Amino acid sequence: MRSYPLTVLKFGSSVLRSEADLPAAVHEIYRWVRNGHRVIAVVSAIGNSTEELLARAHAFGQGVSEHAVATLLATGESTSAALLSLALDRAGIPGVILDEVRLGLRTRGPVLNSEPCGIDVSAVERALETLSVVVVPGFVGRQDDGTVSLLGRGGTDLTAVFVAHQLGADCCRLIKDVDGIFEYDPASSERQPRRYRILTWADADRLSGGIVQSKAIHLAERNNFAFEVAALNSDQPSLICGQPAEFYEQQPDSKPLRVGLLGAGTVGLGVYRYLAAHPERFHITGIGVRHRERADGTPRELLTLNPWEVVDSDCELVVEVIGGLWPAKELIEAALKAGKHVITANKLVISHWGHELRALAARNGVQLLYSGAVGGAAPMLEQVRRIAETRGIRALSGVVNGTTNFILDRLADGMPRDEALREAQRLGFAELDPTTDLDGSDAAHKLALLAHVACGGGLHPNQIERTGIEHFDAEAVHEAARAGLSVRLLATLANGSDGVRACVGPQFVDRDHVFAQTRNEENCLEIHTQTGEVVYVRGKGAGRWPTAEAVMADVFDVCRSARTEVAEDYLTAGRVL
């Protein structure tokens, strides 16, 4: 029995047109990860690379070795698996590549158009015990003699459906550049065709016009296996299964969401780049900055030194990533009062004023989301909330400050403390005022937010006992490392019958302990449920891309809730209140 829901997502060349599309795939994967799923991401070669590789093979004429052709074409998928894995790593999402050998994907039949016949299920399960994502190059398998084989044109669909079926996945979604399957080709008529909510395998085969590989559809039908087809970031998949057809009643609203951005520093610039990559989805109304002279690609006409102009602009959503208590708190307050959704990564503001601001958001019928405030790309608030609602939380313990973790690792290597801190600042992990990292207050702010979600009520950061690492003897860290111990700044919370107790402080942990394995800016939370299980949440907890990933996940939640008929469920699932 798996303790997590498993989703297989397939990204084809129509979605991965170039490397610039990889972050969008990462956003999609992270959306599922933060909803508590483990994900198997099956990828096709990027853009036209399969055609290009095929042309290179054909340059040697007809009748050449099919094994050599298959091996050459397979490099397209292995390249895109490696690139997606790099993009996931940059975003701070823990994953691993299982190529066709490690996945044990065996095939039979013609080398270039073979049938899959088995995978090593336990290899996948082992990988997913500790990691959130497994990346699989689609289209490619191995014959019994170990030679490379291909699953035919469009074979990545077949890999995804086969792997999902073999693993008994909870969901298998083929992500396409169209949002599901239509009753006829939208380009062939003036009238807008209806989009299927549900359709049969036979209809999918007839109607998908090659969008879904026939072999994949037939394999699903033979095994009575349901799978979905949808666009990126969609809540309206077409489910292909054995049930009678149903249609969606309305098209989702595709108007871009108008976003005002406060801050274009470490995190803000990451968020800007992500938003700007999707002009069809996001219209940026203004960017509040400290300096207008910049050489980072932010358009001058959007920049303003006056953050109030951004709040007052024609935006539906304000993203606050300037940090600090003032004026961030007033800006958030003003935006909520003006009926705008707010997304922030500001743990300082939320840990001090969360109660008032949540009430203000509720009164104005808007959302206040702050996933990026805790754990970066480790979805700690979401996981703690889910467990609190289902199994209850007995205790929490973890590394929630990337800067101090990074510094402690450098001290263990013998680097002087000042140099380690400068390095953490250079890499964009530290706060504007790094004393709040070192003295444990950043960790205390995050623990206060976790406590609110875990136990309800409010725990003010001042109620958290706190010792930092600013006076911790650097030589002692180095000595401990030689003795097989690591020093970690741990945030802990006990939710007992006598109430909630919370503290932050340095502790020695054994080299094999999961917290000792939490390296550099990584964060890790150990959650003890009331039902006796222990659940871990891991990911990079500081820096531009992990924090921007969490902010974007909130942005996509707002985006979906603004435009679809079924958004309420997702909204509730993604909301942190």
The answer to whether 261 and 288 have CB atoms below 8 angstroms apart is yes
Residues within the interface to ligand HSE (CB under 6 A)? 376, 401-403, 429-431, 437, 442, 541-542
d(CA 420, CA 410): 6
DSSP 8-class letter at 432: S
Among 321, 347, 324, CA closest to 451: 347
Measured CA to CA, the distance from residue 138 to residue 157 in angstroms comes to: 8
- Partners of 500 in the β-ladder: 495
Secondary element (H or E) of residue 9: strand 6-11
Smallest distance, Å, CB 332 to ligand HSE? 17
Would you call the peptide bond into 327 cis, given omega within 30 degrees of 0 as the criterion?
yes
Q: How far is 375 from 532, CA to CA, in rounded Å?
A: 23
Q: Which is nearer to ligand HSE, 542 or 552 (CB)?
A: 542
Min separation Cβ 287 and ligand HSE, Å: 21
Q: To the nearest whole angstrom, how small is the minimum distance from the Cβ of residue 325 to ligand HSE? A: 15
Q: How far is the CB of 486 from ligand HSE (least distance, A)?
A: 17
Instruction: Please name the helix (run of DSSP H) or strand (run of DSSP E) that holds residue 335, with its range, or none.
Output: helix 328-337
Min separation Cβ 442 and ligand HSE, Å: 5
Closest by CA to 8, choosing from 43, 34, 46, is: 43
- Kindly tell me which of 171 and 555 has the beta carbon lying closer to ligand HSE: 555
Position of minimal CB gap to ligand HSE: 403
Q: How far is the CB of 385 from ligand HSE (least distance, A)?
A: 18
Rounded-to-10 torsion of CA 377, 380, 382, 387: 150
> Are the C-beta atoms of 441 and 461 separated by less than 8 Å?
yes
Q: How far apart are CA 22 and CA 278, in angstroms?
A: 13
Cα angle: 319, vertex 320, 326; to 5 degrees = 160
Using alpha carbons only, give the angle 575, 33, 486 rounded to the nearest 5 degrees: 105
Residue type, 575: R
Residue number, 298 or 441, with CB nearest to ligand HSE: 441
Smallest distance from ligand HSE to CB 423, Å = 12
How many Cβ atoms are within 10 Å of 510's Cβ, its own excluded? 10
C-beta closer to ligand HSE: residue 238 or 518: 518
Residue 523 beta carbon to ligand HSE: minimum distance, rounded to whole angstroms: 7
Pick between residue 313 and residue 397 the one whose CB is nearest to ligand HSE.
397
Through-space distance between the first and last CA atoms of the chain, rounded to whole angstroms? 31
CA separation for the pair 270, 276 (Å, rounded):
10
Q: Which of 176, 215, 329, 446 is catalytic?
A: 446
Kindly report the number of other CB atoms within 10 A of residue 236's CB atom: 22
- 184 vs 195: CA distance, rounded Å: 9
Nearest partner of 81 among 66, 55, 56, 100, judged by Cα: 100
- Fill in the amino acid letter for 410: R
Alpha-carbon torsion angle 329, 539, 502, 403, nearest 10: -70
In the complex, minimum distance from the CB of residue 450 to ligand HSE, in angstroms, rounded to a whole number: 13
- The distance of closest approach from Cβ of residue 545 to ligand HSE in the complex, given in angstroms and rounded to an integer, is 12
Task: Pick between residue 287 and residue 400 the one whose CB is nearest to ligand HSE.
Answer: 400
| 45 vs 411, beta carbon nearer ligand HSE | 411
Phi, psi of 349 (to 5 degrees): -65, -45
Smaller CB separation from ligand HSE, 137 or 376: 376
- For the CB of residue 452, give the shortest distance to ligand HSE in the complex, in Å: 17
In the bound state with ligand HSE, the residue whose beta carbon lies nearer, of 285 and 441, is 441
Own/partner long-range contacts of 469-478 (Cβ < 8 Å, ≥24 apart): 469/404, 469/407, 469/408, 469/438, 469/440, 469/506, 470/435, 470/438, 470/439, 472/506, 474/411, 474/416, 474/417, 477/408, 477/411, 477/412, 478/411, 478/412, 478/413, 478/414
Radius of gyration of the chain from its Cα atoms, rounded to whole angstroms: 25
Q: Between residues 265 and 392, which has the closer beta carbon with respect to ligand HSE?
A: 265
Residue nearer to ligand HSE on the CB measure, 20 or 432:
432
Asked if 347 is an active-site residue, the reply is no
- Tell me which residues are annotated as active site: 446
